[in-house]
């Protein structure tokens, strides 16, 4: 689930470009930064926006300078504009880059370039990679203070020191305790369900710790602080908390995952017939295949099987994934038949997952399937307009993007094996019927009604039974992989 992942979200701002971009002081930057966008990293937990508001930390002493810092998710940051101004320089914004220019004093000067959405900073043309990203928040650009001496010509005060590292295990939880001689800032990222990166803003001379319990491996990297790369022997949840002496990192085994509810969506229905063949309507073929698939799945699975419609009813596109969410489904498959009126020879089976369409064909299929929006119905469950709700929805669906692709792959492979027809492959498109489905989801196109031979096949009950058997095989293959891996 989303709450199992930890990373402070990044933020950036888009600044309107003017004809004459001049240097930006703090007040100029405040007035220019106007349009908020959110950077959403790989499969991560959303920390509340209120918790991410920059809290005053302390004054950072850099030589004779004093710059107030802020804490964002346990990491200390310094404001770029204030820091650059204190060093006698200016900050410019050009398109998606912030450029800080420091005048020459005892050194030849410095040009620092930060690019939105990237962890790489260019210092006089040389790349510096930051394991902790810089932030664009509250009309200010924040740089992690632990890395200022890599970016600016300044010397940092002494970092906290790691005094000891230890691992202990109790039942299904392993705890990594890090003791420091003073308070240190930290962050954690779940790279995968079994790989985690812990950053600690402290120096550590310890380079080895024998694994135990859930922890199967720990690697150390010293780079303006300490990075610990931790692997676990099975999928785990990582939580970091502060202790009196440092921090405690808890790795708890995830509960074994089960597919308990599967939602099957027969596309179209009622006043929306879908694609039309010479004798067959898509809505009728979809429903019959879905009913047969439902019976097949009940024979081989303990999961509850739910249909978005079990008769010739009209169901709005957006209501279909909502039903799946309401039933807390673990899997969602939408069944359709294809059409290509301008290419009557087009044939074969293809499977889609939700993502941006890349080709003209993907856009064409998306446009046709989304055409049911021409039958509007009152939307009683409108998405909240606030940004937090939008981000939560995006993160929830992005979590299942890779699994949706895996589901589509499994279905496509099974169908082409069982039916021996033309394999049109796995594709991606932005189908309304898949949007906001917070589970692995796929849309299958079971042949072309505009192809006379395939329409004849689709009109035969035994062929639709074969399609249902093939779909059941692909879905079953995916379920076994998910439950065995516990991801």
Instruction: Look at residues 307, 294, 322, 279 and name the one whose alpha carbon lies nearest to residue 454.
Output: 279
Provide the CB-side half-sphere exposure for 40 (13 A, CA): 17
User: According to the model, what pLDDT value does residue 434 have?
Assistant: 63
For CATH 3.40.630.40, list the domain ranges present in the chain: 261-485
User: 74 vs 6, 77, 186, 307, 324, CA distance in Å?
Assistant: 12, 10, 5, 46, 37
For CATH 2.60.40, list the domain ranges present in the chain: 162-253
What is the number of other CB atoms lying within 10 angstroms of the CB of residue 72? Answer: 26
Q: Is the pTM of this model over 0.75?
A: no
What is the number of other CB atoms lying within 10 angstroms of the CB of residue 109? Answer: 12
User: According to the model, what pLDDT value does residue 265 have?
Assistant: 94
CB-CB contact of 92 with 104 (8 Å): no
Question: What is the C-alpha separation between 235 and 252, in angstroms, rounded?
Answer: 9
Instruction: Quote the Cα angle for 202-206-211, to 5°.
Output: 110
Question: What is the C-alpha separation between 344 and 463, in angstroms, rounded?
Answer: 20
Q: What is the pLDDT of residues 137-178, one digit of tens each?
A: 767 788 877 677 677 776 666 778 999 999 999 988 999 999
Q: Which residues of the chain have pLDDT under 50?
A: 1-54, 356-358, 361, 368, 372-397, 487
CATH number listed for the domain at residues 261-485? 3.40.630.40
Coil/strand/helix, residue 295: helix
Which segments of 254-380 are extended strands (E)? Answer: 261-266, 304-307, 331-338, 349-354
Question: What is the C-alpha separation between 29 and 91, in angstroms, rounded?
Answer: 9
DSSP string, 140-188: EEEEEGGGHHHHSS--PPPPPBEEEEEEEEETTEEEEEEEESS---EEE
For CATH 3.30.457.10, list the domain ranges present in the chain: 2-151
For domain 162-253, the question of CATH label 3.40.50 is answered with no
Q: What is the pLDDT of residues 410-453, one digit of tens each?
A: 999 999 888 877 888 888 766 565 666 778 888 899 999 999 99
Question: What is the C-alpha separation between 296 and 469, in angstroms, rounded?
Answer: 7
For domain 2-151, the question of CATH label 3.30.457.10 is answered with yes
């Amino acid at each position: 689930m989303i709450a199992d992942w930890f990373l402070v979200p990044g933020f950036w701002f888009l600044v309107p470009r003017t004809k004459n971009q001049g240097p930006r002081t703090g007040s100029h930057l405040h007035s220019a930064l106007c349009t908020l966008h959110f950077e959403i990293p790989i499969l991560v937990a959303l920390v509340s926006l209120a918790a991410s508001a920059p809290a005053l930390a302390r004054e950072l002493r850099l030589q004779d300078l004093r710059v107030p810092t802020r804490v964002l998710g346990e990491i200390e940051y310094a404001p770029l504009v204030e820091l650059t101004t204190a060093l006698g320089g200016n900050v410019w914004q050009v398109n998606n880059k912030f450029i800080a220019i420091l005048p020459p004093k005892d050194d030849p000067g410095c040009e620092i370039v930060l690019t939105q959405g990237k962890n790489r900073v260019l210092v006089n043309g040389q790349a510096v990679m930051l394991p902790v990203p810089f932030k664009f928040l509250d009309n200010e650009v924040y740089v992690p203070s632990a890395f200022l001496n890599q970016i600016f010509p300044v010397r940092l005060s002494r970092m906290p020191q790691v005094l000891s590292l230890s691992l202990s295990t109790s039942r299904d939880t392993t705890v990594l305790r890090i003791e420091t001689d003073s308070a240190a800032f930290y962050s954690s990222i779940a790279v995968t369900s079994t790989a985690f990166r812990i950053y600690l803003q402290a120096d550590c001379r310890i380079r080895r710790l024998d694994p135990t319990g859930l922890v199967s491996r720990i690697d150390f990297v010293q780079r303006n602080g300490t990075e610990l790369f931790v692997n676990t022997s099975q999928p785990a949840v990582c939580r970091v908390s502060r202790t009196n002496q440092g921090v405690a990192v808890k790795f708890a085994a995830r509960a074994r995952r089960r597919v308990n509810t599967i939602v099957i969506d027969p596309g179209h229905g009622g006043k929306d017939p879908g694609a039309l063949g010479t004798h067959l309507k898509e809505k009728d073929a979809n429903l019959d295949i879905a009913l047969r698939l439902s019976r097949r799945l009940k024979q081989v699975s303990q999961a509850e099987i739910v249909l978005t419609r079990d008769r010739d009813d009209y169901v709005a596109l957006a209501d279909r994934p909502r039903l799946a969410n309401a039933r807390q489904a673990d899997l969602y498959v939408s069944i359709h038949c294809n059409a290509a009126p301008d290419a009557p020879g087009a044939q074969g089976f293809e499977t889609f997952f939700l993502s941006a369409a890349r080709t003209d064909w993907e856009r064409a299929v998306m446009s046709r399937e989304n055409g049911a929006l021409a039958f509007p119905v009152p939307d009683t469950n409108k998405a909240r307009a606030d940004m937090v709700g939008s981000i939560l929805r995006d993160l929830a669906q992005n979590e299942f993007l890779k699994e949706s692709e895996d589901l589509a792959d499994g279905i496509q492979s099974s169908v082409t094996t069982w039916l021996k027809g033309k394999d049109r492959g796995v594709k991606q498109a932005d189908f309304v019927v898949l949007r906001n489905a917070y589970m692995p989801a796929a849309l299958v196109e079971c042949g072309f009604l505009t192809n006379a031979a395939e329409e004849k096949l689709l009109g035969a009950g035994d062929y639709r039974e074969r399609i249902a058997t093939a779909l059941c095989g692909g879905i079953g293959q995916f379920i076994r992989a998910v439950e065995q891996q516990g991801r």
